Structure 1
Amino acid sequence: MKFYNDDNNEKKGDLDNEKSVKESEKNYKKVKQISKVTLNEFEPGIGNTTNYNDDGPKKCVGCGKELHMKDERLPGYVLDIVKQDYCLRCFKIKNYNRLVEQDINDKDFIEILDNINKENENIRYYYVVDIFDLPGSRLEWLEKIISKKEVVILANKVDLLPKSVKSKKVLEYLTEYFRDSSLKNSEIILTSSIKEEYVYNLILKLRSVKYDQYIIGISNAGKSSLINACLRLNQQIPSIVTSKYVNTTLDKIKINFTKDNYIYDTPGLIKHNHIAIATAPSYWDFFFFQKEIKQVTYQLFKGQTIFYGGLAWFSFVDNQLLNDKNKELRVGFHFYINKRLPLHRTKTLNSLNYFKKHRHSLSPRLKDTNFEFITHEFEFDKEENVDIHISGLGWINFNSHNGMKISITVPKTEYGVTVKKLKPLI
């Protein structure tokens, strides 16, 4: 694997792409490019082998789309098909972190899976779920489709959990979590593209079979980042384009770890039920991040509300605990969030006015000032330790008691933001 910082060694195709970026964006601000990589492995037939056999149209090694010179607005566009390996879209994402949206809908993905299942008898699927957003990253209809084949569940981004949380406990939790799923008998592996010990375990798994393997899941679950981490640890070139934006990968990309062991990266499905849908992409760093999550604890009386920036809010609605002297006791609520996400406390009666007054100054905030809201109410009839998950924002852990009422208010979107009660993870 060779790294170049010398401009004389950069591929001319990359320079042509850069020229196109500059011409198409007049307000372009130059970004320094560090450690450009060639796509020439030491040994032919390993690494990103998208175009290795040269038996069809050339494809982008970053997103998998067929390269063309017809329309700059479409994914797969290049100035020179022979000289360039990345399409202009991937070049923008990879080098300038530019957002170029392209949807992969559920229907198209189902068609891809149907073709895969029909063409191949032996298949292993790696089903990636986000440990920070378990309810939001699960797709039960997808689980039913792939359950007829061999499936390994990859619980990704375990590096986000506090270091005090034991892996054994997380695996036990996930086994229980998938008990009612069609994948209940599947092997579960903890993964992270950041920590080498998790990457190494995944590489061993990937190299254990010589038949087709596919990595699947929703956008931003970390599929492509995992493959790049495996390539890097396997002394190969991490060539797949990754970003905080959805749908970076648009078609199948074949990756060979040896000549006999390979995996296909697949397009990520849209996060229909994620709160990021209600915000501008400029705020997505609050939802897709790489730092360990933070625990923030509030001792609340009934009638108090906690705001997540300008996006959503949690309210302790009713039924305060009393001590022996009939004095009200505070209840502890533990918020597990991105460290950068600001929380604000106010009175529940004032919550809507608070939002209307500060919605333009709060960050992150909704992309539309006219958003309607929907409130999810939870009432408890016993003492138990529970988590309330909000897709994209993390979860709230607390001990409930008989008659306790809490609510979560989120923006109303086309498919709804997932808000779900689960057993405690931590």
Structure 2
Amino acid sequence: MTEGREWCEGCGVTLQTEDPKAPGYVPLAALEREQIICRRCYRIRHYNEVSPVEQDPEATLSLLNQIAETKALVVQVVDLFDISGSWIPGIHRHTGNNPLLILGNKMDLFPRSVKSQRLKEWVYRTAKDLGVKPVDVVLTSAAKGTNLEQVAQAIEKHRRGEDVFVIGTANAGKSTLINRLLKEFGGGEEAVTTSPYPGTTLEAISIPLDGGKRIVDMPGVIRKDRMSEWIEPKELKAITPDGEIKPKGYQLNEGQTLFFGGLARFDFVEGARQAFVCHVANSLYIHRTKSEKAEELWVNHRGQLLAPPKDPSSLPELTRHTFHLKGDEKQDIVVSGLGWITGGNEKARVDIWAPKGVRVELRPAII
């Protein structure tokens, strides 16, 4: 057992000195440090290593249920690159009567030609469709420090002197945003461990505010219907955008296929020749071929030419999703956690193949 502090200041997990393989392990010598963090957080911060920890999604959601019993401002951080996949299902049940402020993170990933007002209206519309009415929506980029002042002002305005709970799905950017705010306005150092891997924050982390109140970084909610939850940590960078997305356009005839590494497959089944524009991480390899050759290519080259994943057995089997594009407006075909394909200049039938359980949906075009 540890003496003094009982929680890791980086991820919130209970500290222990007995089992190096279990969450919260800290060497006895580290207890003399002013800031005590577990070995996992130390390795993430200093060596960019990660040790995946199995988390119980139901346990995380039960933590959120406690928020409804308090008086506080709830701040939900959503990933604009994957807004439906980063939404917390049934959020109104967890927040109770508390006001909800939505922070749309990762706005830096969108091409500069996309107007921020359009993105903001999209977030409002998505929230309304999901039965939620936020007190405000603020767009930001935790990675770039964009609009931090507007974020801080919105939080201070709507919290009305109460506690603040910051919630979101794993890897939406909650902890990075909190660290940015602390450095910018609190004069503090990094308080919360961050990494590009889902599930870094394991327990609630409480940070004091003036007036005896606090800002609480809640552990990210795990959603298994996103591609990012199925990728090995060392391969996650291949599908995670780290800068402005450069759309890739393809003029396709019916009977042509696009492979997104070895993760997903897009078949243009029927329709006039037209453009399809892919919005995915710039580092993700896209391969075009004839549909009649697609199956052979998939079987013989997945894990090699078509990668990630290096180990195809790490993903569930692919499931087909069929969509009929209306041809009177552009539409996005979204693969949660991977990106989206924009089409619809002409009527078309397309098939998307994605790992079983990964969310695939159709929406009006964002760009």
Asked if 1:398 corresponds to 2:350, the answer is no
Amino acid at match of 2:349: K
Aligned counterpart, 1:367: 311
Asked if 1:192 corresponds to 2:141, the answer is yes
Aligned counterpart, 1:376: 321
Offset at 1:144?
3.5
Asked if 1:352 corresponds to 2:295, the answer is yes
Deviations 1:184-207 (A, max 9, x none): 344211121133341221122233
SS at match of 1:336: strand
Say how many residue pairs are matched: 357
Aligned counterpart, 1:300: 252
Query: What is the alpha-carbon distance in structure 1 between the residues aligned to residue 313 and residue 68 of structure 2?
Result: 45
Question: Cα RMSD (Å) of the superposition?
Answer: 2.0
Structure 1 unmatched runs, 5+:
1-53, 321-329
Offset at 1:145?
2.4
Asked if 1:108 corresponds to 2:59, the answer is yes
Aligned counterpart, 2:365: 424
For the pair shown, the structure with the greater C-alpha radius of gyration is 1
Q: Is the 8 A contact 1:310 1:365 kept in 2?
A: yes
Asked if 1:98 corresponds to 2:41, the answer is no
Q: 1:194 to 1:57 in 2, by over 3 A?
A: closer
- Of 91, 97, 115 in structure 2, the residue corresponding to residue 166 of structure 1 is 115
Query: What is the alpha-carbon distance in structure 2 between the residues aligned to residue 409 and residue 240 of structure 1?
Result: 37
Q: Is the 8 A contact 1:296 1:336 kept in 2?
A: yes
Offset at 1:310?
1.4
Structure 2 unmatched runs, 5+:
none
TM (norm. structure 2) is 0.91
Offset at 1:124?
1.0
Aligned counterpart, 1:65: 13
Aligned counterpart, 2:276: 333
Q: Is the 8 A contact 1:303 1:349 kept in 2?
A: yes
Amino acid at match of 1:222: G
Query: What is the alpha-carbon distance in structure 2 between the residues aligned to residue 191 and residue 381 of structure 1?
Result: 33
SS at match of 2:123: helix
Aligned counterpart, 1:39: none
Query: What is the alpha-carbon distance in structure 2 between the residues aligned to residue 290 and residue 203 of structure 1?
Result: 24
Asked if 1:319 corresponds to 2:271, the answer is yes
Query: What is the alpha-carbon distance in structure 2 between the residues aligned to residue 390 and residue 145 of structure 1?
Result: 27
Aligned counterpart, 2:156: 207
Offset at 1:57?
4.6
Query: What is the alpha-carbon distance in structure 1 between the residues aligned to residue 141 and residue 257 of structure 2?
Result: 34
Offset at 1:334?
0.8
Deviations 1:132-172 (A, max 9, x none): 11121123223432253211111110011111111111111
Identity score, percent: 33
TM (norm. structure 1) is 0.79
- Of 127, 132, 139 in structure 2, the residue corresponding to residue 183 of structure 1 is 132
Offset at 1:387?
0.8
Q: 1:113 to 1:142 in 2, by over 3 A?
A: same
Query: What is the alpha-carbon distance in structure 2 between the residues aligned to residue 343 and residue 147 of structure 1?
Result: 44
Deviations 1:313-358 (A, max 9, x none): 11111122xxxxxxxxx20111111111111100112211111111
Query: What is the alpha-carbon distance in structure 1 between the residues aligned to residue 94 and residue 191 of structure 2?
Result: 29
Q: Is the 8 A contact 1:129 1:154 kept in 2?
A: yes
Aligned counterpart, 1:244: 196
Q: 1:143 to 1:299 in 2, by over 3 A?
A: farther
SS at match of 2:141: coil
- Of 74, 77, 101 in structure 1, the residue corresponding to residue 22 of structure 2 is 74
